[in-house]
Amino acid sequence: MRHSLFLIIAIMAVSSCSIAEQRYATTDKSPINDSTSIVPIIENKKWFHGSMTCNADSAKPMDILKLDEQTFILRQNKCDTFEAPFMYLLLGSDKAMLFDTGAIEDANISPVAMEIERLIQQYSPDPALPLIVIHSHGHADHKAGDKQFANNKTVTVVSSDVKKAATQLGFQNGLSEIQTFTLGNRSIRMIHTPGHHADAITIYDEKHKILLTGDTLYPGLIYVKNWDAYKQSINLLYAFSEENEVAAILGGHIEMSKEPFVLYPIGSTYQPNEAHLLLQKQDIAILYNALKADPKSKRMEFEKFTIQPMNWFQRTLSNVFSLFN
């Protein structure tokens, strides 16, 4: 997603520009029917979706979904941050991995580090597993919580810069190719998927066959900074999904309604009819085919998500904000 101030200014820029757009309807309506995977757990989860009156909101700072003893999805409260980003905790035999730390630096508002420590200790009380923190990309709403881990010697916070991250993780060839690292008995693959952000990455969890796509693909409005890079990333994800089992695609936010093509307004703190977090392999295929058929940079609306190229003003503003993140 985007920095909050950037969003407010950017939407003003969008409203003043005429952007060609096209809608793409889903042709495959086949339901998910895999009772042996964690997919039904994700599909049946009703996330806290904010409140009409946030001053009276009594929901916890984070909504947590347990997929199994080693896998958790966390979402920050929309009344604390309209971004309400998702974070993913994967536990292995030797170490744990957290994918993103959320949009809130203040632990008194959103105690990310405390919740992660609690979940790890439940699984591995003595000694606690060392934690490695990895980022889907460098936008503030995905790494603001990093500072909550600053004084924990068992935590390694990996840079959101892909070149630095590759060095920290010991990838000799960088992220020019798909890389694998392990959490002991759990293998994770890392894929560089720029477009929304130059340093965007996607994670593939071999245990549950899940793609964690951050803001590269999620049920919402996906701003694309580099259109050509984004097309290449979708090509890569499509090829990967054809060669590997993909049970679920899980992104960084929910901004869509359950009603096809309908987005909640930017800044919404109440989404009572929001879409599922879950996207499927076919959604990558739909996007891939649309971009292949019409590769020109333009707004493209799908039933479950929308992609929109940044205009010159937005790209410039994004570059300025990147200097401070």
| Nearest Cα residue to 218 out of 101, 306, 137, 98 | 306
pLDDT tens for residues 207-236?
A: 999 999 999 999 999 999 999 999 999 999
CATH at 242: 3.60.15.10
Q: How many domains does the chain have?
A: 1
Q: What's the pLDDT score for residue 27?
A: 56
Distance, CA of 168 to CA of 162 (rounded, Å): 10
pLDDT more than 70, % of the chain: 89
pLDDT tens for residues 129-138?
A: 999 999 999 9
Rounded to a whole number of angstroms, the distance between the first and last alpha carbons of the chain is 14
Strand partners for 307? 222, 300
Residue 90 backbone zone (phi > 0: left; psi -120 to 50: alpha; other: beta):
beta
Distance, CA of 39 to CA of 205 (rounded, Å): 13
Domain carrying residue 213: 4-28+35-322
Q: Is the pTM of this model over 0.85?
A: yes
pLDDT band at 20 (very low <50, low <70, confident <90, very high): low
The CA-atom distances, in angstroms, between 17 and each of 10, 14, 20, 93, 298 are 11, 5, 10, 52, 12
Instruction: Look at 11 and 50; give whichever has higher pLDDT.
Output: 50
Distance, CA of 198 to CA of 229 (rounded, Å): 8
Q: Which two tokens stand for residue 37?
A: 């995977």
Q: What's the pLDDT score for residue 126?
A: 77
237 within 8 A of 194, measured Cβ to Cβ: no
Q: Which two tokens stand for residue 236?
A: 């890569």
How many DSSP H helices and E strands does the chain contain?
A: 7, 15
pLDDT tens for residues 73-126?
A: 999 999 999 999 999 999 999 999 999 999 999 999 999 999 999 999 999 987
Beta-strand pair 299-302/306-309? antiparallel
Q: What's the pLDDT score for residue 3?
A: 46
